[in-house]
Each structure stands twice: as structure tokens, then as C-alpha cells.
Amino acid sequence: MTALTRRLLLALAALLLTAAPVAAGGPAPLILVSIDGFRADYIGRGITPTLAALAEEGAWATEGMRPSFPSNTLPNHYTLVTGLRPDHHGITDNTLFDAARPGVKFSMGARDQVEDRFWWDGGEPVWVTAERAGMKTATTFWPGSEAAVRGVRPTTWFPYDEALSAFDRVDRLLGWLDLPEAERPGFMTLYFEAVDTQGHRFGPDSPELNQALRGVDAALARLVAGLKARGLYDRINLVVVADHGMAGTSPERVVFVDDITPLDSFTVVTMGWTASLIPRTPQAEAALVGKHPHFECWRKGEMPARLGYGTHPRIPPIICLSQTGWVVTTRARYAERPMTRVGGSHGADPHDPAMRALFIARGPGLRPGSRLPVFDNVSVYPLVMTLLGLTAQPNDGDPAATAAALR
């Protein structure tokens, strides 16, 4: 072999190696990361260099992504992986009741309910379609991944465990990438709650929140380093999102529903910046519906169209929405847990910029340096399905809203 032929062969081998997808012949694997409560503008604080680099190199919604109503955790996580509005997928808030299960309450802490497909079957998450198409999937937490939705679970999944450190979550994912090719997942998720937790406890402008941002960025740095060490950084699509933003609360901004109608005239289903209530009398309903100082209530069928909410049978008859920053509660609840200092919350109008969530995507399927204007989070799903080479289920997203991110 001449020196020239050898050089040519080496160059060809190098080209083939860099161009080869991780799973031969298939689309690049995709890692979907959620940083709960990462408000879009946090990235501008200059303390999340890993995220900044991903945004710089990849696709980035510079002004953030609009959550779906209600801007709470479970509804929006399920929207991100189904492309359906909460009104359509049925995880209509963090707490649910259903007429078919009288007296049963679905909430984050109700493990047996969280693992019951009954609550989640209204949507088909990415991993279900992927598994059906023969792709292995693995989740270190994602709402819905603990249930056999429509009869299918991720190949690898774990019950939510807040005690598992962010680094351990990352290391577990890196371990999946070291599996023999036939067992390696094509779709993986990661979830981090610390930014949301500290946002609630200390508020979005607190040093504690900033420390949580640094912690999550360090976990992402570990992920990126692990991908680079395996030669996978340019061969894996990384999509980093949040479910909603965060805004400040104060003991000076509290109003009480029972100042409008007596406490025993309604039942509280959810209480927060989005509250849902069941009036016990026509008088209570009449008193609740309408504008009040710092919040407004509607009958579920009469909500403003921009909120895209109110048709699902699980939604209680009255929905109230606070002015961002104002806590709506009852005097009894407040007496039990009074606010003593500033903090933070979400659940406000998705059209409020404070509710906007992070969106960054980088990898071989994504256009370097592309910038997306604010878009609705229902359009993450069609993007993810395109990147995975899977057929999207019917959804509320608009592929055109995220198409500019594609290479």
C-alpha cells in the first residue's frame, strides 16, 4: 500500500466514524432534559455557562417558550411529551379528580395514582410511540413515565426519587450510553427539581435560586463532559426545556376567596395562582364568577380562548386566575401556613413573560445558532418526533413553530 493510499483510507475511515450515527442506520439518540421552573431569562444571569454554550451552539428560544394553561408542573411536562394541551391530555392540573373514580384523588404524592395509566391515557407520550416502533427508551424521571401509559412503559424507568442527586441522575444516563448497541436507548429523559424548589422557597431573585442554577449547570456540564468523552457530543440531540417560569410572592400580596363567598359554600380542588373550585350553591357560583381584586374566576366553559382550557371533564366548574404576584387562598389555609417572607410561585397566565420557560436544543439534527421567537410548548413534541424519525400522534403543536431549529 502506498503512503498516499494509506492516507486516503485513513481519511475515509475518519469520515465514516464521525458521520456514523450511534445506532447504525437510525436517527441520532435524543436526550430530553427538564429543569423544573427554569424561567427563560435566568440564562442571562451569566451563572449557567454550560447552558449558555449549548444555546450559543444550538437552537435557542431567546425570549423563552410559552407554557400551557395551567402553568404548573404535571400538566406542562405531559404537554411537552405529547404535544397536547392539558385540556386535551387530561392531566389538567397537579391535583385531579375523575367522576369514574369517586373519592380518589390524583396528586404528585399519591404513588399508586401516579403509577396508574388511568390518569395518563389521554395522551401518548414520546416513549410509548418510540417503544412501539422498536426503539428502547429510558427515563430518570418524567411525569407519566412511572405508569404503563396505553399499556407501555419505558424499557428503563424509576419511581420519582428527589433524594437521588443530580450527578447520580447524569451518571445513570451516561451508563445507558455504554450499553451494547442493541440495548442502548434512542430516547432518554432527565429531570431536575432544585431550581423550582428554591424558586418557591426564596423567590426568583434570591441567592439560593442562583445557587440552584449553578448546581443544575454543573450537572449539565457533567453530562456534556460525559458525552464528549464518549465521542457522542456531536452525535446526540440534546433538548433542554423547562415546564414554566417563576415570579415573586410576598406576605403583602395575599387575597382570600372566602371574603367573596363563605368558606362552606365551595370546595377547593386546587389552590394557587390557578385555583379550581366547586361551588356548593348557585349563590356561591354567582358570587365567584367575575373579576375580583387581584384575581378573576370563570365558569369552565366560559374561559378566555387564549387560555385553551375548560372542556375536559376533569376540570372543576370554576377556574380562577390570579394577577401575577398575588396569592389567592382561604383564610383557613393561610392560618395554617402563613407566609412569613418573600418566595415564588407559578401557575399564572401563560401569556405573562414571567411564566416563560427555557428552550435550548443542540445536536446533529439542530441548526447551529438558530433563534426561535416565543412559541407555545405544544410545539416541542413535533420537533422531538421529527428528530427521532417517529410519526407524531395527533397533537396541538405546530411543526412550523419549531421548524427553524431543524438543520
What are the catalytic residues? 73
Region binding Zn ion by CB under 5 A among candidate stretches 28-36, 149-157, 158-166, 380-388? 28-36
- For the segment 23-52, give every residue that binds ligand AMP (CB under 6 A): 36
Q: Is-contact 397 375, C-beta < 8 A?
A: no
Of the candidates 106, 119, 160, 375, which one interacts with ligand AMP according to CB under 6 A?
160
What is the distance between the alpha carbons of residues 224 and 53, in angstroms, rounded to a whole number? 10
78 binds ligand AMP (CB under 6 A): no
Q: Return the number of other C-beta atoms located less than 10 Å from residue 337's C-beta.
A: 8
50 vs 73 by CB, closer to ligand AMP: 73
Q: Report what 160 binds from ligand AMP, Zn ion, none; CB cut-off 5-8 Å by kind.
A: ligand AMP
Strands 254-256 and 359-362 turn out to be: unpaired
DSSP-assigned letters across all residues of 212-249: HHHHHHHHHHHHHHHHHHTT-TTTSEEEEE-S---EEE
Of the candidates 162, 178, 252, 302, which one interacts with ligand AMP according to CB under 6 A?
162
Q: CB of 201: closest distance to ligand AMP in angstroms?
A: 10
Q: Is-contact 187 130, C-beta < 8 A?
A: yes
73 binds Zn ion (CB under 5 A): yes
233 vs 309 by CB, closer to ligand AMP: 309
114 binds ligand AMP (CB under 6 A): yes
Q: CB of 274: closest distance to ligand AMP in angstroms?
A: 10
What is the distance between the alpha carbons of residues 305 and 69, in angstroms, rounded to a whole number? 11
What is the distance between the alpha carbons of residues 168 and 275, in angstroms, rounded to a whole number? 36
- Non-local (6+) Cβ contacts of 152 within 8 A are 127, 128, 131, 132
Strands 59-60 and 359-362 turn out to be: antiparallel
95 binds ligand AMP (CB under 6 A): no
197 vs 211 by CB, closer to ligand AMP: 197
Give the binding site for ligand AMP (CB under 6 A): 36, 72-73, 94, 108, 114, 141, 143, 160, 162, 193, 196-197
Provide the binding-site residues for Zn ion, judged by CB under 5 A.
36-37, 73, 196, 243
